[in-house]
Structure 1
């Protein structure tokens, strides 16, 4: 059974992210192809080792959408310069990236910030730096974060995902839940959110923190460990964790969240005798909704990449941003664009419904896929 480790992520960083960068046209690259009539849509992206799996797919989906939008005439006749703001996940790096567009009046919106750490940091940094730029469709999974009037999350957070995944189990008498944190960073960032959600669902929670070896952690589980385990981490870590579960005599059920790609997990050598449920705040990639059909056609035409939930999310983020930009009253600038986002209470993006609540979130759309005990993927 192959090891799933940092080496896998390093390979993805060299190959996958490089492919995402070179496959897009000149106008999508920083500092290239901009004209006086173009507008800039900036996308902060976390290229750190821990987030590159998520970032690669999400970015490809967004780039496919913006390339297609430009081929069809852009926004109100103006081409869009899709500017990637690279970050290594640290606040200092993100601050530098945001400083690069702070005083560029052509940059009218931040769209599709990814992953969760970066999206959360931008909410605070936007106020500190006085950006005044609307922040549209970030990959914001933190259910507890206070949202300001310039941030417009359209994807369901952890609370909605966990509730959706566990609702059928709670009706069957689920009382206990194990929470597995893949890294110390995951525990620090997410444990308060998970504990609050478990308390709200009246579930007794057992916490497990990995210390670098997820296979070893899974082999230490006892008969008293809950049968249902919530896994908080990425795809490579979950694949490694399932390998250790092979030696467990008790049947376990794993609930993973939106950062996990089940197809990639299987390719990484995950054990196939443990059912895994993975939530996603977008439609299934084989759904018949118009936005999914458009995504699949655009992706196959412009990129040599398979459909994934994360790239579909990136595509939807860009399409949502485009719909609002295309409906701006008057000239396209930060003030008019922000007013357009604040005015939009409800929007349908090809069957994906966006409707903001009193907390300024639109996050009630959740689907799930399952890897069955015989290794099949079921939507």
Structure 2
């Protein structure tokens, strides 16, 4: 199915989110005569709030593409997969309603690919508080400060790892002063600890700049004493607003963004015209030759009118990592059995994307960087 809508329009976002929500893959329906009557349900919670819809939309497209491809090859051990999408608005109450809808549905055996970060963190908290025994696999959990228990299995590098990777690169060329720009009060509250802890560990001098409203105005008001290197903690639209303010500055600035930012969209929105932007990614480059990346590009090109992007690759990998464990379970695919299988699994290779959990029950082997140059190119 091709949706040919301008990539930045609200209509495009609405169409893609609604098309993905609650959809049963057509391939699964086509195989219903050969598969068991009761399909296997895999639930995905996605945050469609204004602050997270860009992240969730891309992540959801990647996951949806993966499950459609899996169904086209026969599903999980011959059972078609219903990719059950649960839209939330990021609030505690909306996450609770989503989890309540799964509680009494035994056909739903796993929760996979929660996006974005605030919703993923809220799911972690509520699963532990309510003692709901379901595996929470490959969430887009960027907050390094969130403690995870035996139900949650993060496979992507968290924000602290991304910041550390980016700042170490700057240290290699003698940079000792860095600024941290927080796109909103919520970003400042959620992620300040991660940023300050990482900067202290690297012995960097850090200045914080929480936004109080207009990000373009904040960019205009930076003083000559502000560090030339600025770590930006926020999403793609907010980054574009901030760079428009930086265009008024005479001093050259360099922005380091994190994995929530889509550089292609920054370019399409006319941002960063005079400010180089470096973005960390928690997945391989979308041009990489790894088997999982090649499968992602082929599947995306076949099913969606969408360019490859790091966040949709992350969604694809989230679904594929879930499938790999489900496919190896012996015996009935039940919610307790699936949770036990993930708890036993110490390492996983998803087409070259390697997953192995540390003592904090996190895995984050991949951090890569791309740069948006002033002439509009994205280079690795």
SS in 1 for 2:278: strand
The residue correspondences of 1:79-118 to structure 2 (distance < 5 A) are 79-118=80-119
- Give the CA deviation at 1:28: 4.8
* Contact 1:70 1:80 (8 Å CA) reproduced: yes
> Are positions 1:17 and 2:14 aligned together?
yes
Q: Distance in 2 between matches of 1:10 and 1:316?
A: 24
- Give the CA deviation at 1:24: 8.0
Show the counterpart of 1:160: 161
Show the counterpart of 2:365: 364
Show the counterpart of 2:200: 199
* Contact 2:20 2:64 (8 Å CA) reproduced: no
Q: Deviations over 1:304-361 (max 9, x none)?
A: 1111100000000000000000011211001111111111111111111111111111
The residue correspondences of 1:215-364 to structure 2 (distance < 5 A) are 215-364=216-365
Q: Distance in 2 between matches of 1:116 and 1:40?
A: 23
> Are positions 1:37 and 2:38 aligned together?
yes
Q: Distance in 1 between matches of 2:9 and 2:375?
A: 28
Q: Distance in 1 between matches of 2:76 and 2:210?
A: 47
* Contact 1:219 1:247 (8 Å CA) reproduced: yes
> Are positions 1:183 and 2:184 aligned together?
yes
- Change in Cα spacing, 1:110 to 1:176, as seen in structure 2 (3 Å) is same
Q: Distance in 1 between matches of 2:7 and 2:372?
A: 22
- Change in Cα spacing, 1:99 to 1:164, as seen in structure 2 (3 Å) is same
Q: Deviations over 1:204-256 (max 9, x none)?
A: 11111112211110111111101110000110110111111112111111100
SS in 2 for 1:274: coil
- Give the CA deviation at 1:131: 1.5
* Contact 2:277 2:371 (8 Å CA) reproduced: yes
- Give the CA deviation at 1:9: 11
Show the counterpart of 1:123: 124
- Give the CA deviation at 1:374: 3.0
**TM-score normalised per structure 2:** 0.93
* Contact 1:25 1:67 (8 Å CA) reproduced: no
SS in 2 for 1:196: helix
* Contact 1:58 1:114 (8 Å CA) reproduced: yes
* Contact 2:22 2:85 (8 Å CA) reproduced: no
**TM-score normalised per structure 1:** 0.93
Q: Distance in 1 between matches of 2:221 and 2:192?
A: 21
* Contact 1:290 1:350 (8 Å CA) reproduced: yes
Q: Distance in 2 between matches of 1:131 and 1:23?
A: 26
- Give the CA deviation at 1:25: 8.9
- Give the CA deviation at 1:36: 4.3
**Two-structure CA RMSD over aligned residues (Å):** 2.0
SS in 2 for 1:326: helix
SS in 2 for 1:27: coil
Q: Distance in 2 between matches of 1:368 and 1:180?
A: 19
Q: Distance in 2 between matches of 1:237 and 1:160?
A: 22
Show the counterpart of 2:3: none
- Give the CA deviation at 1:173: 1.9
Q: Distance in 2 between matches of 1:25 and 1:184?
A: 33
- Change in Cα spacing, 1:357 to 1:46, as seen in structure 2 (3 Å) is same
Show the counterpart of 1:4: none
- Give the CA deviation at 1:89: 0.5
Gaps of 5+ in 2: 1-5
* Contact 2:20 2:60 (8 Å CA) reproduced: no
* Contact 1:369 1:378 (8 Å CA) reproduced: yes
* Contact 1:255 1:277 (8 Å CA) reproduced: yes
How many positions carry a matched residue from both structures? 369
Q: Distance in 1 between matches of 2:7 and 2:319?
A: 26
SS in 1 for 2:24: helix
Show the counterpart of 2:54: 53
SS in 2 for 1:248: coil
Q: Distance in 2 between matches of 1:178 and 1:55?
A: 27
- Give the CA deviation at 1:271: 3.1
